[in-house]
């Protein structure tokens, strides 16, 4: 059993099959939104981590961990047979699959896979349920109102309402930017896991990502308030639910990407200077 499961090509085929099954189940369940996006990102990051470190991996399993790993894989496959709609199992399947494959490959020496397993564990978090507990609409309305005020517009904020002389908008929870903030938090944490850049920079990345997402969305809300005040309904719909909303998301992700690139360059220069001084 040890030699059989330590075959790299077998492990590769098994891992590929488990990844494909999980993504297929999400798609078939009709849960195509944030969860599918997060799953694609997390699986891609996991594969990248394993590929980057594949030459340093030690394939030394034995019957006991191999048996446990086989049970994990068997459980995932059997549960997958009965999934036709969204099930909480879809959140636990990746980490159970990852642990199962790691046990088959390297026994109880799971430390070499800790980064990849941490990424898979991220999918366990019930994002939709968690985000409903946070309503930052008043804060978004406050910042958007301040942006309008300091830009010269006459605006009065009343809770989540922004009143202008010729129109008003209400900032609903779905427009507060919480989804975009969560997306940037995910990307920031994955970036830190993929590219160790030091403690200080690692703390800056997710915090800065959330701030960029929040401010970008606040600007979008301010723009929509202006369009309502000017009675431009078509333009409002475009920036609210149409392609315009995606443009702001792209701008936010691009700014965050530039920040990550800058911090990564700084970390590389610092590492080079340390090597020269040594």
Distance CA 124, CA 230 (A): 45
Residue 260 near residue 204, CB atoms below 8 Å = no
Name the band, by pLDDT with cuts 50, 70 and 90, for residue 278. low
pLDDT in tens, 185-221: 999 999 999 998 888 999 999 999 999 999 999 999 9
Q: How many CB atoms lie within 10 A of CB 61?
A: 24
Is the separation of the CB atoms in 119 and 102 below 8 Å?
Answer: no
Query: Which pLDDT band, with edges at 50, 70 and 90, does 35 fall under?
Result: confident
Which DSSP string corresponds to 91-127? HHHHHHHHHHHHHHHHTT-GGGGHHHHHHHHHTTS-H
**Least confidently predicted of 24-38, 114-128, 183-197:** 24-38
Query: Is the pLDDT score of 2 beyond 50?
Result: no
Count CB-CB contacts under 10 A for residue 16: 11
Residue 198: Cβ-neighbour burial (10 angstroms; 0-12, 13-18, 19+)? middle
Residues 6+ apart with CB under 8 A from 73: 14, 18, 97, 100, 101, 104
pLDDT digits (tens, 9 = 90+) for 229-241: 888 888 888 887 7
Q: What is the pLDDT of residue 1?
A: 44
CB 229 within 8 A of CB 167: yes
Neighbouring C-alpha atoms within 13 Å toward the C-beta of 38? 26
């Amino acid at each position: 059993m040890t030699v059989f499961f330590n075959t790299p090509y077998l492990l590769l085929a098994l891992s590929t099959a488990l990844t494909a099954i999980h993504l297929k189940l999400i798609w078939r369940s009709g849960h195509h939104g944030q969860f599918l996006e997060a799953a694609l990102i997390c699986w891609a990051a996991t594969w990248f981590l394993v590929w980057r470190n594949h030459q340093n991996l030690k394939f030394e399993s034995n019957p006991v961990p191999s048996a446990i790993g086989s049970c994990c894989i068997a459980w995932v496959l059997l549960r997958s047979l009965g999934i036709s709609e969204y099930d909480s199992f879809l959140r636990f399947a990746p980490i159970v699959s990852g642990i199962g494959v790691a046990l088959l490959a390297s026994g109880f020496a799971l430390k070499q896979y800790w980064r990849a397993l941490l990424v898979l564990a991220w999918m366990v978090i019930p994002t939709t349920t968690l985000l409903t507990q946070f309503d930052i609409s008043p804060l978004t309305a406050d910042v958007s109102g301040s942006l309008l005020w300091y830009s010269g517009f006459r605006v009065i904020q009343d809770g989540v309402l922004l009143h202008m002389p010729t129109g008003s908008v209400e900032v609903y929870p779905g427009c507060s930017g919480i989804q975009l903030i969560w997306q940037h938090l995910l990307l920031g944490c994955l970036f830190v896991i993929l590219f160790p850049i030091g403690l200080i920079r690692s703390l800056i990345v997710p915090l800065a990502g959330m701030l960029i997402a929040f401010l970008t969305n606040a600007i979008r809300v301010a723009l929509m308030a202006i369009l309502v005040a000017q009675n431009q309904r078509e333009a409002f719909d475009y920036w609210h639910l149409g392609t315009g909303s995606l443009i702001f998301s792209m701008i936010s992700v691009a700014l965050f990407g530039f920040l990550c690139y800058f911090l990564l360059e700084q970390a590389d220069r610092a590492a080079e200077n340390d090597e020269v001084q040594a």
